[in-house]
Amino acid sequence: MDDSKFLKDVRVRIAPSPTGFLHLGLARTALFNYVFAKKNKGKFILRLEDTDQKRSEPKFEKDIIENLKWLGINWDLGPYRQSQRIPVYARYLEKLLKEKKAYYCFCSQEELEAMRQYQLSVGQPLRYNGKCRGLSENEIKKRLAASKQSIIRFKMPDKKIIFHDLIRGKLEFDSSLLGDIAIAKDLATPLYNFACVVDDFEMKISHVIRGEDHIPNTPKQILIQEALNFPNPKYAHLPLILGPDRTKLSKRHNACAVAEYRKQGYLPETLVNFMAFLGWNPDTEREIFSLSSLIKEFSLEKVQKGGAIFNIKRLDYLNGFYIRQKSLDKLTESCLPFLIEEGLVEPIFESEERMPNLTGYLGKEIVQKYVVKETKERITFDSLKKIVGLYQERLKKLSEISEFIDFFFKEKLEYYKDLLKWKDMSNDDVKDVLDKLEEILSGLELDKFDKENLEKVLMLEAEKRKDRGELLWPLRAALSGKKASPSPFEIAEILGKQKTLQRIKAARENYVTI
Ligand code: GLU
């Protein structure tokens, strides 16, 4: 392969704060970083920015890690945790303090608030007014010794910052509008912009690819880099993700956490394909991209500036597509957690295998035997496969599976009024048909009870009537208890002779009483 196509020494990262679940925006940022790294034979790093001890929680960290893995977005290095790197930041903070590029500020909350109010009233930009910039060494020592409340501020140089964003082109900022920003609460508590700059340097990050909402941080970070004599990474700010109403995607749109999509039965390959189009446009009609094809095709030049609109119809379309693509083995395996969660079946563990749950995985070996919870009958993975297979074509989300196939696992079905009637059939007509069906099917030998034979025998009978539906509808409804289902032949084959006959009888008996 021609290596000259690759950018050299690409190292990118995502740097989530574990203060919330992995949401679609962050997952999209992770995806773009991942494919960019892989395309350029670089490294993708996961860094957890957990210096805000109050808001960071292990459950969020776990969620971020688990769901990135589920999506197949694997990192090469990390996860690094900023909370474990405090001495590194302290070293650089001390350096800036020593070189007088940063200083201690002792202004109280009240003073800062008064400053803000004043600036608001005279229409000045809101920024720190530099009051503590000129404190003498002695004064600082005295105040620190007296444990006066303080923070560390960066002495913002007065200059224009211009940087070239790989997506947006030239961006210009005036640093005088920023004021002396806080970079740490104290030596052991760095704040975001500072810790981020130090880590991007220490981790040799070549490209910072992140959401557009971070554009205001970039000039601050560039100036801190300059103060520390660090090289600047390249920047690419991804467009915001917008809801269908064109406002920033948020909880309001019910479309945030990746775990939520997973729980609803979207496949990881669907989400990856879907997220790729949230801002990236390959300039072709092609809609289907797997992770590996994205690695080949992705480029930052084809990322748009304008907001990327979230379209749930496309998500459903893609999910249906990927469900149809799956091997029946894999599809059944993916459906199983939903069937278990719904209480339809339970795996029979023969060894020390882990109990599955919706967010977990069934273990490396697929459990081969299950018990139907309601009837206590055993059912094999292969039989489940047959049942799931009936719905592969029409399934849009895995979570729909239980509702589709629950009738296979029930002891007794309930038939609501008129369900068994085709068009203008009377009660007596239905009863007669069910009698006829019982007669024909009980005469069919066990080894002939497969869908081909069932179809042959039953179609012969159905054709005798003015409308085939008069036989096929009551049969299908009697076996499934549903208005819509696969053909009665397919259902009868799976149910087997005994159950099929039982259901026909039960339908006739129950039908009389409704
Ligand atoms: N911790 C920041 C966030 O979660 C990281 C932003 C960045 O990529 O620099 O938004």
pLDDT tens for each residue of 118-161: 999 999 989 999 999 999 999 999 999 998 899 999 999 999 99
pLDDT at 354: 52
Nearest CA to ligand 1 atom 6: 15
Find out whether the beta carbon of 236 lies less than 6 Å from any atom of ligand 1.
Answer: no
pLDDT at 100: 96
> Hey, which of 28, 51, 194, 196 would you mutate to test ligand 1's pocket, going by the most ligand atoms within 8 Å of its Cβ?
196
> 251 pLDDT band (50/70/90 cuts)?
low
> 254 pLDDT band (50/70/90 cuts)?
low
> What is the sign of the dihedral through the CA atoms of 492, 496, 497 and 503?
negative
Find out whether the beta carbon of 17 lies less than 6 Å from any atom of ligand 1.
Answer: yes
pLDDT at 461: 94
CA 20 – ligand 1 centroid, Å: 12
Measured in residues, the chain has a length of: 514
Which run of H or of E encompasses 242?
strand 241-242
DSSP structure class, residue 411: S
Find out whether the beta carbon of 197 lies less than 6 Å from any atom of ligand 1.
Answer: no
Distance CA(272)–CA(252), nearest Å, equals 22
> What is the sign of the dihedral through the CA atoms of 67, 71, 73 and 74?
positive
Least confident of 37-46, 99-108, 240-249: 240-249
> 48 pLDDT band (50/70/90 cuts)?
very high
Average model confidence (pLDDT) for the chain? 92
Find out whether the beta carbon of 237 lies less than 6 Å from any atom of ligand 1.
Answer: no
Q: What does the pLDDT look like over 461-483, one tens digit per residue? A: 999 998 999 999 999 999 999 99
Q: At what angle do helices 469-480 and 427-442 cross, to 10 degrees?
A: 80
CA 117 – ligand 1 centroid, Å: 29
Residue type, 413: L
Find out whether the beta carbon of 15 lies less than 6 Å from any atom of ligand 1.
Answer: yes
Distance CA(314)–CA(371), nearest Å, equals 36
Q: Is the pLDDT of residue 357 over 50?
A: no
Q: What does the pLDDT look like over 305-332, one tens digit per residue? A: 999 998 889 999 999 999 999 999 999 9
Tally Cβ neighbours within 10 Å of residue 30: 26
CA 15 to ligand 1: nearest atom? 5
Greatest mean pLDDT among 203-212, 246-255, 409-418 lies in 203-212
Instruction: State the Cα torsion 201-203-204-209 to the nearest 10°.
Output: -90
pLDDT at 148: 85
pLDDT at 350: 66
Residue 144 φ/ψ, nearest 5 degrees: -65, -40
Q: Is the pLDDT of residue 367 over 90?
A: no
> 493 pLDDT band (50/70/90 cuts)?
very high
Over residues 50-59, mean pLDDT? 93
Q: What does the pLDDT look like over 61-114, one tens digit per residue? A: 999 999 999 999 999 999 999 999 999 999 999 999 999 999 999 999 999 999
pLDDT at 247: 84
**Please, are residues 197 and 217 in contact by the beta-carbon 8 Å criterion?**
no
CA 218 – ligand 1 centroid, Å: 11
CA 210 to ligand 1: nearest atom? 8
Q: What does the pLDDT look like over 155-200, one tens digit per residue? A: 999 999 999 999 999 999 999 889 999 999 999 999 999 999 999 9
pLDDT at 353: 52
Distance CA(175)–CA(160), nearest Å, equals 6
Buried-state track 189-202, b at ≥16 Cβ within 10 A, e below 16: bbbbbbbbbbbbbe
Least confident of 72-81, 252-261, 350-359: 350-359
Residue 150, both tokens: 């303080």
Q: Provide DSSP, 447-484.
A: GG-SHHHHHHHHHHHHTTSSSTHHHHHHHHHHHH-SSS
Higher pLDDT, 415 or 469: 469
pLDDT at 25: 93
CA 15 – ligand 1 centroid, Å: 5
Find out whether the beta carbon of 220 lies less than 6 Å from any atom of ligand 1.
Answer: no
